[in-house]
């Protein structure tokens, strides 16, 4: 067979693969309806185990190794579960409409832009993008009704919590209605002809600079230029057309601005992942069929053991904590507001009781939202 013919056969096989994936998605969405009517949870890891074992056996017979099958299957299952969760949540809260207006940091090509696409493509036919220059502007866009949702990065595996966003949450009336994680692969990007050895200026968002701090220590005589977003950094580098001025951002984003990759994998942590939250004016309820998280803030006062007492309440109700963060309270030096993420649905009896008790023993408690957990732990096959 000639090269062109083989390539044509590959393209047609890929097309069939895509058609099958689309068909599988449709079936998964039908499963979601069947499960709701039978009061069953969306995730069924026993079924996933059985499927995976069977696929690995079938793969072996076709000469496809188990690791390859497992990797592909994990991606497919994650998509299947997230599609089902989005559908169920949309039906329950009546929110999945033809279009949504979403405020996020930066413009096309920023990390928040890709996260917005990832999250809302499952929920609306059309995304009306409202790129903003600051976290404050993003929150205001929703508060004033110019946007339906805001997408905000809240923590990152390399740089930790994003304090500015935590502080905004303390003072907003918006509710957290969703979360998602997104891998962040930082690259150095320059115009055609740029060379790493000649770089004099690096343009990037302060969070990006923090996530790549170790790599940047290795670049000598380089000026750091803090930008509002990765897309703002791309725009600047493209406009200046100077091969000694480069940006840090995602490869796909840089490509939108005609920039080329000079170096990859710049983050301090190999697994560099950001968690984003989605906020809206109205809270949502989370279907029982979906694992939920609840976020609340509390001020315990400074008496000895106050935080321990509060955390014991969670323990007594069998509620697991996903995250605990503290931030200063403006105007009250050395006093701290605690942010708590728990694996629980606000509608659960245990959660309701725990909040009542926390209300009694702390000085202030406020629920920031209850939302579906998008942590889809991959199912592993038990050997044997």
48 part of the interface to ligand PRE, by CB under 6 A: yes
252 vs 377, beta carbon nearer ligand PRE: 377
Angle CA(209)–CA(174)–CA(131) in degrees, nearest 5?
45
Size of the site for ligand PRE (CB under 6 A): 10
Applying CB under 6 A, the span of 47-55, 154-162, 203-211, 295-303 interacting with ligand PRE comes to 47-55
Type and span of the H or E element at 14: helix 3-37
Applying CB under 6 A, the span of 40-48, 113-121, 155-163, 185-193 interacting with ligand PRE comes to 40-48
47 vs 223, beta carbon nearer ligand PRE: 47
Which DSSP state fits 263? Answer: E
Applying CB under 6 A, the span of 41-49, 88-96, 126-134, 366-374 interacting with ligand PRE comes to 41-49
Which DSSP state fits 39? Answer: T
43 vs 205, beta carbon nearer ligand PRE: 43
Which residue lies nearest ligand PRE, judged by its C-beta? 80
List the alpha helices (DSSP H) in the chain. Answer: 3-37, 45-61, 66-93, 111-121, 135-143, 163-171, 206-211, 213-217, 230-240, 251-256, 306-316, 349-361
Q: What is the spatial distance between Cα 203 and Cα 231, in angstroms, rounded to a whole number? A: 10
Return the closest-CA partner of residue 129 out of 119, 163, 255, 153.
119
Q: What is the spatial distance between Cα 30 and Cα 47, in angstroms, rounded to a whole number? A: 16
In angstroms, the Cα distances linking 337 to 133, 136, 149, 312 are 27, 19, 25, 17
77 vs 188, beta carbon nearer ligand PRE: 77
173 known member of a binding site: no
Question: Binding ligand PRE by CB under 6 A: which of 36, 80, 110, 266?
Answer: 80
Contacts of 258 (CB under 8 A, 6+ apart): 191, 192, 238
Please give the residues from 49 up to 68 whose contact with ligand PRE meets the rule CB under 6 A. Answer: 51
Distance from the Cα of residue 291 to its chain's centroid: 16
For residue 39, the minimal CB distance to ligand PRE (Å) is 13
Q: What is the spatial distance between Cα 314 and Cα 333, in angstroms, rounded to a whole number? A: 27
Question: Binding ligand PRE by CB under 6 A: which of 77, 187, 194, 209?
Answer: 77
357 part of the interface to ligand PRE, by CB under 6 A: no
Q: What is the spatial distance between Cα 282 and Cα 356, in angstroms, rounded to a whole number? A: 22
85 part of the interface to ligand PRE, by CB under 6 A: no
For residue 41, the minimal CB distance to ligand PRE (Å) is 8
87 part of the interface to ligand PRE, by CB under 6 A: no
Place of tokens 């009694």: 360
24 known member of a binding site: yes
170 known member of a binding site: no
47 part of the interface to ligand PRE, by CB under 6 A: yes
Q: Are 96 and 86 in contact (CB under 8 A)?
A: yes
Please give the residues from 295 up to 354 whose contact with ligand PRE meets the rule CB under 6 A. Answer: none
43 part of the interface to ligand PRE, by CB under 6 A: yes
19 vs 134, beta carbon nearer ligand PRE: 19
Q: Are 216 and 224 in contact (CB under 8 A)?
A: yes
Contacts of 220 (CB under 8 A, 6+ apart): none
Q: What is the spatial distance between Cα 330 and Cα 264, in angstroms, rounded to a whole number? A: 39
For residue 97, the minimal CB distance to ligand PRE (Å) is 25
Q: What is the spatial distance between Cα 38 and Cα 232, in angstroms, rounded to a whole number? A: 49
31 part of the interface to ligand PRE, by CB under 6 A: yes
125 known member of a binding site: no
User: Interface residues with ligand PRE (CB under 6 A)?
Assistant: 28, 31, 43-44, 47-48, 51, 77, 80-81
- Give binding residues for substrate as ranges: 7, 24, 35, 44, 48, 80, 84
């Amino acid at each position: 067979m000639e090269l062109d013919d083989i390539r044509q056969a590959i393209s047609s096989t890929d097309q069939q693969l895509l058609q099958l994936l689309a068909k599988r998605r449709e079936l998964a969405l039908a499963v979601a309806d069947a499960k709701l009517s039978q009061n069953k949870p969306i995730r069924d890891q026993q079924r996933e185990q059985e499927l995976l074992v069977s696929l690995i056996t079938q793969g072996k017979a076709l000469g496809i190794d188990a690791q390859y099958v497992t990797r592909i299957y994990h991606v497919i299952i994650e998509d299947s579960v997230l599609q089902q969760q989005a559908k169920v949540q949309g039906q329950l809260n009546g929110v999945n409409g033809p279009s949504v207006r979403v405020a996020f940091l930066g413009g096309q090509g920023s990390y928040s832009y890709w996260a917005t696409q990832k999250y809302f493509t499952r929920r609306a036919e059309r995304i009306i993008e409202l790129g903003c220059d600051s976290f404050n502007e993003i929150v205001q866009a929703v508060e004033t009704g110019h946007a339906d949702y805001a997408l905000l990065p809240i923590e990152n595996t390399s740089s930790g919590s994003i304090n500015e966003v935590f502080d905004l949450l303390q003072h907003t009336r918006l509710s957290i209605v969703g979360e998602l994680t997104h891998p962040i692969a930082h690259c150095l990007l320059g115009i055609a002809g740029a060379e790493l050895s000649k770089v004099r200026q690096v343009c990037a968002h302060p969070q990006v600079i923090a996530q790549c701090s170790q790599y940047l220590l290795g670049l000598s005589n380089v000026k750091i230029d803090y930008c509002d977003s990765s897309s703002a950094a791309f725009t600047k580098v493209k406009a200046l057309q100077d091969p000694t001025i480069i940006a840090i951002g995602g490869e796909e984003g840089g490509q939108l601005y005609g920039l080329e990759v000079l170096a990859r994998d710049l983050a301090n942590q190999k697994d560099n992942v950001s968690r984003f939250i989605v906020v809206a004016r109205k809270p949502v309820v989370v279907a029982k069929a979906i694992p939920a998280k609840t976020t609340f803030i509390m001020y315990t006062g400074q008496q000895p053991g106050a935080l321990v007492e509060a955390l014991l309440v969670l323990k007594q109700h069998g509620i697991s904590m996903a995250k605990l963060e503290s931030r200063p309270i403006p105007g009250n030096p050395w006093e701290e507001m605690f942010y708590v993420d728990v694996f629980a649905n606000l509608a659960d009896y245990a959660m309701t009781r725990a909040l009542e008790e926390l209300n009694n023993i702390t000085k202030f408690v406020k629920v920031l939202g209850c939302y579906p957990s998008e942590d889809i732990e991959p199912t592993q096959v038990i050997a044997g």
